[in-house]
Structure 1
Amino acid sequence: MAAEAKYSIVREVGRGSYGVVYEAVANQTRSKVAVKRMHCNVPENVELALQEFWALQNVQKRHENVIQLEECVLQSGQVFQPISRHYRKSDHHLLLIETCLKGRRCMDPRAACFLWFVMEFCDGGNMNEYLLSRGPDAQLNNSFMQQLSGAVAFLHRNQIVHRDLKSDNILISHSPGGPVVKVADFGLSKVCQGKVNVNQHRFSSACGSNFYMAPEVWEGHYTAKADIFALGIIFWAMVERITFRDGDTQKELLGTYICQGKELIPVGEALLENPSMKLQIPLKNKKSIPDDLCRLLHDMLAFNPKERLDAFQLEVRIRRISYGKKRQRSGS
């Protein structure tokens, strides 16, 4: 990439329909970075790439639990152009936006087009792999729940709704104080313009991953509270180690569901079919979840989004739960 003078690719660490992620080294500082290359060959890919760029650019302050974008470079053929809110939009950048708006490719079809995202490198993989490679740990779960609640509250304060929260889209970075979670993969996110209340701003395009989607997302009319439902699914699965196999990749994934015969039904879909259904929390072991955490999960997974916690209420409530906290020895 243009940034070849700045970065050296070390190895490929991930690949999907969106593109490829590499581990790289910043040549000047020798620090590790992650480089995501997104192929902008069709309008759908362009929209995913630009939505990720817009979301990460909208975060003007750093948050420890949100992945940090270092820079973004647009490649068109052999031409490389850094893009950010501080640069004047180049012709290639404007054509990329036009492609997204018109739903057809507006760039030169003969020139390869990519967006390169340079981000902080997370050495612990994703949260799904991290947790499933270890035994259950209530204190670790509590730490992850607090970190994720803070991250989502931060995003919502910045008018960003993620819309695809799941354990695969949460990365882990090791630190002296313990593992740090990083919310990543903002390709389906939306930035609400102006100082709007994200809990009242309505979206109409259903998106996300089935097992984490709130009932109202299945209907196509939802707000930022859909992110809280997804977090509820993640927290519940994390605490009880509930998993399912992805039909496409056969990977074991953390996620809760409703059993109907031999079929696994996403919780949101099941609630949409039967809004009065009482969720069985805990699912496996009655002693695995204390009452205050049970109530919290029920409040995160409420069928009616008006009765569901918002991110700011969750951030406060999560600090009060007894689950996973170190027991203090009483003085003699």
Structure 2
Amino acid sequence: MHQAIHPSDPAHLPAARAIWDSFKDTSHFKIETLTLKMVSSQPKYDLIREVGRGSYGVVYEAVIRKTSARVAVKKIRCHAPENVELALREFWALSSIKSQHPNVIHLEECILQKDGMVQKMSHGSNSSLYLQLVETSLKGEIAFDPRSAYYLWFVMDFCDGGDMNEYLLSRKPNRKTNTSFMLQLSSALAFLHKNQIIHRDLKPDNILISQSRLDTSDLEPTLKVADFGLSKVCSASGQNPEEPVSVNKCFLSTACGTDFYMAPEVWEGHYTAKADIFALGIIIWAMLERITFIDTETKKELLGSYVKQGTEIVPVGEALLENPKMELLIPVKKKTMNGRMKQLIKEMLAANPQDRPDAFELELRLVQIAFKDSSWET
């Protein structure tokens, strides 16, 4: 099992239907061009095609009718408390961000649908529909009439280049791409942590590629950190509500994430935002050396570092939990690696989270390595 871990694993959703129209619901509905009405009078978006489906939602490519701009629309069926909790976590995280970052997926709007009734979601709303979802998440049981069809629709950036796994593993290793991706990811993480958001499920599958703005072959694609269903927004402390809490002092106890990217302290259930640093360390190490493993469920080849124990491969975090003094062999495939890069990866993967750099130090050090060491990868 190399899937995301959370209290309950929601089942895959059936394929979506066109809402606010007369289509009948079916688990294998062939999508032509569907109309998604966000207001009662005029349709705002047209759903073009299904582009993906995850553990708790279906994603479509869509266009804004007024501008013809492409967007992604993710439909989440709120039929189980687990789905509701994941959807609300994503909404709370993305709606809490007051500014945009080029490497973090942007939430244009979120629409709540109950049967034929729709309304725009807003954080802290006192609408009965929104409060029923919050109550469902808090109590762990459905707080509304189960005969009603509740859906959340997230309108976000459309990324046309797949995910980081697909992009890198379909191309030869490239130093320029590696450098660009490291800088983009560290910038995104510093931005999230500055906004008191701990992602908790950083992995190549959750990092999307946008190629639409590439005008020349010299430019690298834009990465966008996505999938905030397991994220946590750290609230202000009770002593001084006006003062933002440090994500590195915000302790969490729910063991969640995807095992090959989970820090040792996450397995124990007592961790901070430094767990995101560990996950990014796994991603960067795997990217630089093209270390992959095969997911036992999907049989897909995935980027991710690990430790070999006999014939078995073990997640680095799990191995460090068993033996915190274990020395990681970096590089494991290459003959050599730039000394400063090697040292930084080792610090990111330190068994003790206090020995890891925070996101702001990490961003600075990666910039220094990228621009001061012209041959950092050798």
Q: TM-score range by the shorter chain?
A: over 0.9
Q: Counterpart in 1 of 2:315?
A: 266
Tell me the distance in 1 between the aligned counterparts of 2:44 and 2:370: 47
Residues 75, 154 of structure 2: 8 Å contact kept: yes
Q: Report the 3-state secondary structure (helix = DSSP H, G, I; strand = E; otherwise coil) of the residue aligned with 1:321.
A: helix
Residues 165, 231 of structure 1: 8 Å contact kept: yes
Residues 138, 323 of structure 1: 8 Å contact kept: no
Question: Residues 15-53 of structure 1, C-alpha deviation per residue, up to 9 Å, x if partnerless?
Answer: 122110111111111011000011111111100000000
How do 1:147-158 and structure 2 match up within 5 A? 147-158=184-195
Q: Report the 3-state secondary structure (helix = DSSP H, G, I; strand = E; otherwise coil) of the residue aligned with 2:368.
A: coil
Q: Does 1:286 align with 2:348?
A: no
Residues 141, 324 of structure 1: 8 Å contact kept: no
Question: Residues 120-168 of structure 1, C-alpha deviation per residue, up to 9 Å, x if partnerless?
Answer: 1011111110101110001101110001001000000000000000000
Q: Counterpart in 2 of 1:112?
A: 149
Tell me the distance in 2 between the aligned counterparts of 1:28 and 1:89: 30
- The amino acid of 1:206's aligned partner reads A
Q: Counterpart in 1 of 2:350?
A: 302
How do 1:1-332 and structure 2 match up within 5 A? 1=19, 3-4=36-37, 5-85=43-123, 88-174=125-211, 175-176=213-214, 177-194=219-236, 195-287=244-336, 289-322=337-370
Larger CA deviation: 137-146 vs 76-85: 76-85
- Structure 2 unaligned segments of length 5 or more: list them: 1-18, 21-35, 38-42, 237-243
Residues 179, 370 of structure 2: 8 Å contact kept: no
Tell me the distance in 1 between the aligned counterparts of 2:274 and 2:60: 33
Tell me the distance in 1 between the aligned counterparts of 2:254 and 2:325: 25
Question: Normalising by structure 1, what TM-score?
Answer: 0.95
- Identity of counterpart residues, as a percentage? 61
- The amino acid of 2:345's aligned partner reads L
Residues 127, 171 of structure 1: 8 Å contact kept: yes
Tell me the distance in 2 between the aligned counterparts of 1:88 and 1:182: 28
Q: Report the 3-state secondary structure (helix = DSSP H, G, I; strand = E; otherwise coil) of the residue aligned with 2:367.
A: coil
RMSD: 1.4
**How many residue pairs were aligned?**
325
- Structure 1's consecutive aligned runs of 4 or more residues displaced over 6 angstroms after TM superposition are none
Tell me the distance in 2 between the aligned counterparts of 1:231 and 1:88: 34
Tell me the distance in 1 between the aligned counterparts of 2:372 and 2:284: 13
Tell me the distance in 1 between the aligned counterparts of 2:291 and 2:148: 46
Residues 281 and 324 of structure 1: is their aligned pair in 2 closer, same or farther, counting only changes over 3 Å?
farther
Tell me the distance in 2 between the aligned counterparts of 1:324 and 1:245: 36
Tell me the distance in 2 between the aligned counterparts of 1:143 and 1:16: 27
Question: Residues 79-107 of structure 1, C-alpha deviation per residue, up to 9 Å, x if partnerless?
Answer: 1111124x843211110001011111011
Q: Report the 3-state secondary structure (helix = DSSP H, G, I; strand = E; otherwise coil) of the residue aligned with 1:73.
A: strand
- The amino acid of 2:343's aligned partner reads R
Tell me the distance in 1 between the aligned counterparts of 2:197 and 2:163: 21
Residues 73, 83 of structure 1: 8 Å contact kept: yes
- Structure 1 unaligned segments of length 5 or more: list them: 328-332
- The amino acid of 2:114's aligned partner reads S
- The amino acid of 1:42's aligned partner reads A
